[in-house]
Amino acid sequence: MSSISAVSTPKALQGTIDSAIDQAKLYAGAWGSCFPDMVYLPLVIAPYLSQDRLDELQEQKCCGVDLCGNGVIVAEGVLIYRTGKPNRYPNTAEIRNVYRRKCALIPQALILKPLFGAVKELVEFINARGGNITFATVSKVLKQLEEDLVIAREAKSLRQIQPEKILDALSTNYRPPKITSNWIGRCNVASLTELVAPLQQAASAQDKRFVLTGAASANQYCTFGGEQIVSVYTDASIAPLLEASGGQYEEGKRFANLEIFQTFSDWVYFDPRDKDGLQVASPIQAYIELANGDSRQRQAADQIRQRILADLADRSE
């Protein structure tokens, strides 16, 4: 017996799988009386079945095939499993990816605080940390997160239920911010504070944002040797910022120890942390950037990920 789904979101598909199994059990007895030599298997057909969905189907002893070439056949003594074909039928909803750019602030916030009594509380929580997001955007993102089975909603409240899956999605879907301009150079100082503080103070005086990048913030959250070049984000104009800092910075790639990225991508400034007077990226931003770096950076990302999950577990006790 088969069940055909026009959608392939996890929440909708989960209901389809359960329905297919129930229908198969219901009709197998009736058909079995007419054709006792036949075996009836539950089958789900959907536009796209990811590896996670195929694993769920296999665990439920339910067959499944999609229109992209993926599938699993489960029968007594038989297992046929095929995955890896890309989704030819992506979701065409207004928000195409809820784990990227500004939309990613909603799942990030749900890592920071897993339970909210109402959507309004979540919006206020994000905006209080520099998120600058609207109620309408949050509502749309929450709908998709619920479909992805990473949050649960009861009446007005919402609760995050799969932090590891959220972190995976955030790192996998991350795209770097749009850089308007950049500067690279050096300053002969002995410490990170001496290198960055004058620029941060100048940005603050201009009412502009300034924060270390996730990669530059890594050693605040894990054992990491750091980068030879410290990188920062700011929405200030770089030339006036350098001039206001006293002219102690020399442009050039030779012996460079500082790189400034001007960006107006709001999400890189979300939830900054104060470390000895310096504005550093949040641990989640550090994790996301490092998870998309080289092997050494990915090792650091694993440490930060463990710390994020451990802190989350401590708060839930």
Beta-strand (E) ranges in 114-265? 115-116, 151-154, 157-160, 181-186, 210-212, 230-234, 250-251, 258-262
Question: Which residue, 139, 172, 205, sits at the end of a domain?
Answer: 172
Q: What is the pLDDT of residue 21?
A: 64
Give the mean pLDDT of 265-277: 92
Q: What is the pLDDT of residue 223?
A: 81
How confident is residue 39, by pLDDT bands cut at 50, 70 and 90?
A: confident
211 and 254 belong to one structural domain = yes
Distance CA 142, CA 156 (A): 12
In a domain, 88, yes or no: no
User: Higher confidence at residue 67 or residue 44?
Assistant: 67
202 and 291 belong to one structural domain = yes
In a domain, 296, yes or no: yes
155 and 62 belong to one structural domain = no
In a domain, 91, yes or no: no
8 Å CB contact between 228 and 257: yes
8 Å CB contact between 70 and 45: no
Name the residue among 203, 250, 195, 200 with its Cα closest to residue 227. 195
Q: What is the pLDDT of residue 214?
A: 92
Q: What is the pLDDT of residue 84?
A: 87
194 and 302 belong to one structural domain = yes
Question: Which residue, 154, 172, 190, sits at the end of a domain?
Answer: 172
- Rounded to two decimals, the pTM is 0.72
Distance CA 28, CA 2 (A): 12
User: Higher confidence at residue 225 or residue 87?
Assistant: 87
8 Å CB contact between 173 and 221: no
Q: What is the pLDDT of residue 1?
A: 53
Summarised one tens digit per residue, pLDDT across range 203-238 is 999 999 999 999 999 888 988 776 678 999 999 999
Which residue is associated with the tokens 């999609």?
66
How confident is residue 16, by pLDDT bands cut at 50, 70 and 90?
A: low
310 and 193 belong to one structural domain = yes
What percentage of residues in the chain have a pLDDT greater than 90?
49
194 and 277 belong to one structural domain = yes
User: Higher confidence at residue 290 or residue 2?
Assistant: 290
Which of 51-55, 129-133, 180-184 tops mean pLDDT? 180-184
8 Å CB contact between 203 and 209: yes
307 and 194 belong to one structural domain = yes
185 and 284 belong to one structural domain = yes
In a domain, 244, yes or no: yes
Give the least confident one: 37-46, 95-104, 259-268. 37-46
Q: Which residues pair with 231 in a beta bridge?
A: 259
Question: What single-letter DSSP state applies at residue 88?
Answer: S
Question: Which residue, 55, 82, 109, sits at the end of a domain?
Answer: 82
Structural domains of the chain, count? 3
Q: What is the pLDDT of residue 51?
A: 83
In a domain, 218, yes or no: yes
Q: What is the pLDDT of residue 229?
A: 86
Q: 114 is in which domain, residue-wise?
A: 101-172
